[in-house]
Amino acid sequence: MSNVIYLDGNYVGKDEAKISVYDHGLLYGDGIFEGLRIYNGRIFKLEEHVDRLYDSAKSIMLEVPMTRQEMIDAHVETARRNGLQDGYIRTLVTRGVGSLGIDPRSCPKATVVIIVDKIALYPAEYYEKGISVVTVATRRPAVDALTPRVKSLNYLNNVMAKLEVNMAGAQGGIMLNHDGYVTEGTADNIFVVKNGKMYTTPRFVGILEGITRNTIMDMAKEYGLCLTEEVLTRHDLFVADEIFFTGSGAEIIPVVKVDGRTIGTGAPGDVTRRFIAGYSATVNETGYPIFE
């Protein structure tokens, strides 16, 4: 059975879901996106993802041709039509069809696409054994050049970093800003554990404010753990007791080696495992219902 795709108010099969080659999302990466997860028949943090989508749209002066509630309803209906109890949602809003010039004024209406499918960013054993990561040479853009707070379709910066990861034979990458401070992974936020305390990079160094990141920060408060948003260097990673990445696609993935240095014991630590278990329970017990 073909996936059912939402495309500008219509529900079409995967093979029929097409956009114009004149769409500025294709021509220039002019658009925004979100990645959401379905767990146990519910869309996790749907409202938060929709809010971030509309914040990104406002930042780049992109008018979404739907209200927030219409966007929520479209997500639920697309998920329902695909019948998945567990899956992934990729939502895109492009500037729409326009001329071959970059001027957004040539695009009279944005294009909205909602895709529901399966996803597996890492093999199952990596969640048990952890991954090896390397620092990449590709830097995150300065926040006054291209803010990472906008979840933009222009993802070439991340793609270039991922190419370096692949060439190094690693599973993940650490991206620095132009001051040499740790920002995030190629597609994930980062948490560090040292001497029983937790640290994560602050927004001003140049990171996406992740929905999963915020969820972990809330869970840390519930657990009574000391969590600080603090500027981190590679040294802080090398001497950490535990490190893990977070993201809607990757969920929580342990990091056990950074640039050849073994992290902690070389296996996922107790704090990381606690968050993996707690996050699994949270996502399977909460969320926006699809089939009710």
Given CATH 2.30.30.30, say whether it is the number of domain 4-117: no
What whole-number percentage of the chain has pLDDT above 70? 99
Q: Which residues contact 48 (CB under 8 A, 6 or more apart)?
A: 211, 214
Q: What is the pLDDT of residues 205-249, one digit of tens each?
A: 999 999 999 999 999 999 999 999 999 999 999 999 999 999 999
**Tell me, what's the pLDDT at 121?**
80
Catalytic residue among 45, 151, 162, 257: 151
Which pair of tokens denotes residue 122?
């890492």
Question: Which pLDDT value is given to residue 119?
Answer: 87
pLDDT surpasses 80 at 292: no
pLDDT band (50, 70, 90) for residue 1: low
CA pair distance 111, 153, nearest whole angstrom: 13
109 catalytic residue (yes or no)? no
For residue 120, the model assigns a pLDDT of 80
CA–CA gap between residue 258 and residue 234 (Å, rounded) = 9
Domain definitions of the chain by residue range = 4-117, 124-285
> pLDDT (tens digit, 9 = 90+) per residue, 6-50?
999 999 999 999 999 999 999 999 999 999 999 999 999 999 999
- Give the pLDDT of residue 117: 95
- Write out the CATH class of domain 124-285: alpha beta
82, 13 Cβ separation under 8 angstroms: no
125-136 pLDDT, tens digit per residue, is: 999 999 999 999
